[in-house]
Amino acid sequence: MSKKLAALTLTLITCLCTGCAVNPITGRQRLMLISEEQDIAIGRKYAPQIEKQMGGKIPNPAIQHYIDTVGQNIASVSHNPTLQYHFAALNHNSVNAFALPGGYVFITKGMLEKLQTEAQLAGILAHELVHVVARHSSEVISRQIGVNILLSAVTADEAPQAVTRVTNLTRQIISLKYSREHEQQADLAGLDYMVRAGYDPHAMIEAMQILQSQPDSVSIDFFSTHPTPQNRIAYLTEKIQTRYRNLPPLRTARQDYQNAILNQLHNY
Ligand SMILES: [Zn+2]
């Protein structure tokens, strides 16, 4: 091997090793160009931007507290319970739920209005939490936007051009598309999180069916069309019937959701 080639190989190996991270969901190694500290820095920088672009937080502390309680309960049984998680309900009529790197999970008023039980809410938050825990958004961001662009904007000043740049990047982050494999992991591991947190796993399927029946609502993430909704419902049903066939009755909490969300959503 020539000296030059040896040096190149060594650089490549070093690079691969420093960028390796295990996906806690699959147990497999994958190349990760963003560190967990950078995940948190990105989330911290872009979360307020996203809130601003999506109508701000719903100005009702009781609603925020309820969403946070359900979310933290699921986060505590996830593969990464020590990360600091932030859940927020946004004052936006679109039907959406999405996650940012570093522990930030959002759900919109439009989606909250469509759901009927706390367990369905738990299903959606669990799906988004898997994207955070498995660091799917970090993977997609590094491929579709570029780590350097994102991180330089994180440290950028408040000059008008810098602000516009961050606004544009925020739009790109909101519209990121996860892979089919990511969505399947989020659905199936999300189902495990629901059960561990004491929720009826059928509610994940119910949430999908409710959203599917809304003709004009296309969610950014949770109601992703890849895999197709039929496919997602099929593999979730199969997992419930095989792995969770003998569960005792678990929590659905229809009345709690009615009281905490549906009766409160227009009370502010
Ligand atoms: Zn997803």
So what's the pLDDT on residue 142?
Answer: 79
Helix axes 202-212, 180-196, angle to 10 degrees: 130
In the reported structure, the alpha carbon of residue 143 is separated from the centroid of ligand 1 by a whole-number distance in angstroms of 17
In the reported structure, the alpha carbon of residue 53 is separated from the centroid of ligand 1 by a whole-number distance in angstroms of 20
Q: Are 129 and 190 in contact (CB under 8 A)?
A: yes
So what's the pLDDT on residue 2?
Answer: 57
In the reported structure, the alpha carbon of residue 159 is separated from the centroid of ligand 1 by a whole-number distance in angstroms of 34
In the reported structure, the alpha carbon of residue 213 is separated from the centroid of ligand 1 by a whole-number distance in angstroms of 18
So what's the pLDDT on residue 88?
Answer: 97
Q: Are 145 and 139 in contact (CB under 8 A)?
A: no
So what's the pLDDT on residue 6?
Answer: 57
What is residue 169's three-state secondary structure? helix
In the reported structure, the alpha carbon of residue 6 is separated from the centroid of ligand 1 by a whole-number distance in angstroms of 41
| Token pair 């099929």 in the structure block, residue | 234
In the reported structure, the alpha carbon of residue 51 is separated from the centroid of ligand 1 by a whole-number distance in angstroms of 19
Spell out where the chain has E strands: 20-22, 29-31, 86-90, 97-100, 104-108
In the reported structure, the alpha carbon of residue 123 is separated from the centroid of ligand 1 by a whole-number distance in angstroms of 11
Q: Are 152 and 165 in contact (CB under 8 A)?
A: no
In the reported structure, the alpha carbon of residue 165 is separated from the centroid of ligand 1 by a whole-number distance in angstroms of 26
Report the predicted TM-score, pTM, of the whole model to 2 decimal places: 0.87
So what's the pLDDT on residue 11?
Answer: 43
In the reported structure, the alpha carbon of residue 94 is separated from the centroid of ligand 1 by a whole-number distance in angstroms of 16
So what's the pLDDT on residue 28?
Answer: 83
So what's the pLDDT on residue 218?
Answer: 60
pLDDT along the chain (268 residues), means of 10: 53 51 82 84 90 94 97 97 97 91 95 96 97 91 79 69 82 85 95 97 94 68 74 95 93 97 87
In the reported structure, the alpha carbon of residue 161 is separated from the centroid of ligand 1 by a whole-number distance in angstroms of 32
